[in-house]
Structure 1
Amino acid sequence: MKSRDEIWREWQNLVNMTPAELRRWLDTGDSKAVGDTGGKGESTGHKSGKRILTIKDTKKADLTDDDWAHMAKVVGYIKRHTAQGGPDEDKEHSDWRYSLMNWGHDPLK
């Protein structure tokens, strides 16, 4: 298991959208249209994006064990999906990019 220092470093590097950018993104139809909903309406990634905003508004010293666990999950998701490289054409408007953006990472930045 990674240390909190490792999680923090990776989180800082990989979650590259500002809270304002992520908030605006999560309000779009494209954000709401991608990802697995598990039949429950809102996708896992979209829910994660909202949780990321809460974490970003929390001081590091005040993060809970659940926050740290979610941060590790976010880091893992971003690493796995960026490793896929995305589509060969039109990455800008792809579900691959949109899904990553729900998790706080814009691969085109």
Structure 2
Amino acid sequence: MAVSEISDGLWDEFHTVVNMTSRELKEWLSTEAAGETAEEVPDRAGKPTGRRVLDILGKRRTDLTTEDVATMERVVDIVRSQRGASLDPQAGGADWRHGLMDIGHDPLKPA
């Protein structure tokens, strides 16, 4: 069921903090999931939130569900809590960067 309305603020903020393209995110999730035991189904690669972000990036605003909106809010909260107001490129530990990239935000990528 599609959501009848999503705020401009959430829509814009989500697309600001998710600074990886759907292609970049898909490749990252596939790379991150590959290991000694590779994913059996490539389209299911990566963590659930990352897959939901990827799904949201492929949707029109009018096709978003209430679950999509909740995911968008959660992603914005996570990125803002770890990055603050400034999204200037910032180096950090690999685990920190990879955790953010799992949800579509590359802290080294210029805004």
* Alignment TM-score, normalising by the size of structure 1: 0.72
Q: What number of residue pairs does the alignment pair up?
A: 88
Q: What letter matches 2:14 in structure 1?
A: W
Shift >2 Å, 4+ stretches: none
1:30-69 correspondence to structure 2 within 5 Å: 31-32=32-33, 46-69=47-70
Counterpart check, 1:106 vs 2:106: yes
Residue 97 of structure 1 is matched in structure 2 by 97
**What's the CA shift for 1:57?**
0.9
Residue 12 of structure 1 is matched in structure 2 by 15
Counterpart check, 1:78 vs 2:79: yes
Uncovered stretches (5+) of structure 1, i.e. residues with no partner: 34-44, 84-89
Q: Distance in 1 between matches of 2:97 and 2:33?
A: 13
- As a proportion of its length, which structure holds more helix? 1
Uncovered stretches (5+) of structure 2, i.e. residues with no partner: 1-5, 35-45, 85-90
Q: Percent identity?
A: 43
CA contact (8 A) 1:4 1:68 kept: no
Change (3 A) 1:97 1:72: same
* Alignment TM-score, normalising by the size of structure 2: 0.71
Residue 22 of structure 1 is matched in structure 2 by 25
